[in-house]
Amino acid sequence: MEFLQRLARFLDRPLFPWKKLIIGFSLANYFIEGFLGYRQYQVLKKTKVPKVLEHEVSQEVFDKSQAYGRAKAKFEFFSGIYGQIQNILFYQFDILPKLWSFAGNLLVRFAPARFSGEISQSIVFVLSFVVISQILSLPTSLYHTFVLEEKFGFNKSSAKLWITDKIKSLFLTFVLTPPILAGFLAIVQKTGNQFFYYLWVFVAGLQVVMITIYPIFILPLFNKLSPLEEGELKSSVEDLAKKLKFPLSELHVIDGSKRSAHSNAYFFGMPWKKHIVIYDTLIEKSETQEVVAVLAHELGHWKLGHTTSLFGISQAHFFAIFSLFSVFINNNSLYADFGFHTVHPIIVGFLLFSDVLGPTDTLIKLGMNVLSRKFEFQADEFANKLGYNAELARSLVKLQIQNLSTMDADWMFATYHFSHPILTERLKALNWQSTGKVEAKEKAKEGDEKTDVATATGRDEL
C-alpha cells in the first residue's frame, strides 16, 4: 500500500503531458501493428501451397484463402486508420469532458432529483459513449459483413437480422451496464484506498453470475440452441465425456449458419455443470468422428487444467489492474490534461488509466498468445493420445478450408497476433502424413437435399 501511495505521488506531476503520451502510445502501437501487418501481407501474396499441405489443399482453395487473408488485412489497415482518427479527435477536442457535461445536463433536465450524483451521471455518460461508438462503427461493421464476408461466401445474415442483432446488443448494454457500473463505482467510493481488493472480489463474482445467466438469458436472444439428436454423434460425445469424467449437463447444436458459414465448437458452464455447443455448420460439413476429435481437443483444455489456469491468470491480471488504478484514481494532472479541471469522475479516470496501460497491455497480449499456443499444442496431443490423430488432422484441415483461415504466416505477425498455432505447425506436431486432397463430397440428410461436405480422399473414411 505504501509503495502504491508513493508511486501515485510521483506520477501526479503538474503540467505532465499525459495526452501527448497516450496519443503517442496509440500511434506507436498502430505503426507496430502496421509493420507486422505488412510482413504478413507479403506472406499472403505467396502462390505456392505450403509443403505440409500440398497433398491436402488444392491450389484453388489455397488461392481463395490467400485472397481472403489479403482482403481482411486491407480491411484491418483502413479500419485501423479510421479508429486512430477517432481516438485523436476524441482526445484533441476534449470530447470526454463535453460528454460528461452532456450527461449531467440530461439528468438535470429529465431525471428526478434522487438520480443526481456521480453514479447516475457516470451511467448516462457510459451509455452515451456506447451509442456514439456504435454509430461510428456502423460503416466498418456494414462493410465487414455485407461486403468482405459476402464476397467470400461467409455471410448468411440478412439486413434485418443484422439490424436486429445491433438492437439486441444495445438493449443488453442498457440493461446490464447500470447495475454493474453502479456496483463498481459504489465500491470505489465507499471502501477507501483499499478499494481494489473489494473490486477484485466483485468482478470475480460478476464473472460467475455471467457464466450462469449467459446460456439462459443472453445466448437465446441471438441464437437457437437445440438438443443434439439421438444418434452416433451424441453417443460418441457422451462416451467421450464419460471417459474423461467431464461433467456434461447438456449437449446443444447452435444455429450458427443463420449468420455465417464459419464452423466452431466450444463448452462453457460451472465446474460441476458444463454445456457443449456444436455449430450446425461443423456437423453438416464433417464426419462424425471428426466432430468428436474436435471436441476431444476442446475437452483436453479442460482435462489439462488450461481453463482453470487461464481463469487464474485473468484474476491475477484484474487484481494488478485494480491495484494500479489506485495509483491513478486521484491523479490531478491526468484529469486536467484531458479537460477535467474541477471534477474527477472515477469512470473517466479508469478509461484514461486504461489508455495509459496501453504498452503493458501489448506485452500481456503477447505473453498470453504464447501461452495459448502452447496450450493448443497440448490439447492436440491430448486428442492424439485418445486415438484421434487422423480424425483431428482431417478436421483441422477441413475447418481451415471451410473458414478459409490463414495457411501460412510471418513468424513475427503470428507470435504477436495468433492465439492458435497455424495449421502447418499443428499438423507437423501431430506427425501428419498427407496422402490426399480434401474435396467436397455430398452428405445425404434424411428428407433433405444433399449437402456438400468436405472429406479427405486417399484414406479410409470413418
Q: How far apart are CA 433 and CA 55, in angstroms?
A: 9
One of 118, 298, 355, 408 is an active-site residue; which one? 298
Residue whose grid cell is 463474482: 205
Alpha-carbon distance 54 to 68, whole Å? 19
By the 10 Å C-beta count (0-12 exposed, 13-18 middle, 19+ buried), 241 is classed as: buried
Residue 445 dihedral angles phi and psi, to the nearest 5°: -115, 135
Using CB atoms within 10 A of its CB, is residue 401 exposed (0-12), middle (13-18) or buried (19+)?
Answer: buried
Residues 6+ apart with CB under 8 A from 348: 96, 100, 125, 335, 338, 340
Q: Which of 56, 290, 376, 380 is catalytic?
A: 380
- Which whole-number Å values give the CA distances from 361 to 7, 88, 303, 344, 366, in the listed order? 20, 19, 29, 24, 9
Sign of CA dihedral 213, 217, 221, 225: positive
Give yes or no: 232 in active site: no
Residue 149 catalytic? no
Q: Which three cell numbers stand for residue 24?
A: 503517442
Catalytic positions: 298, 380
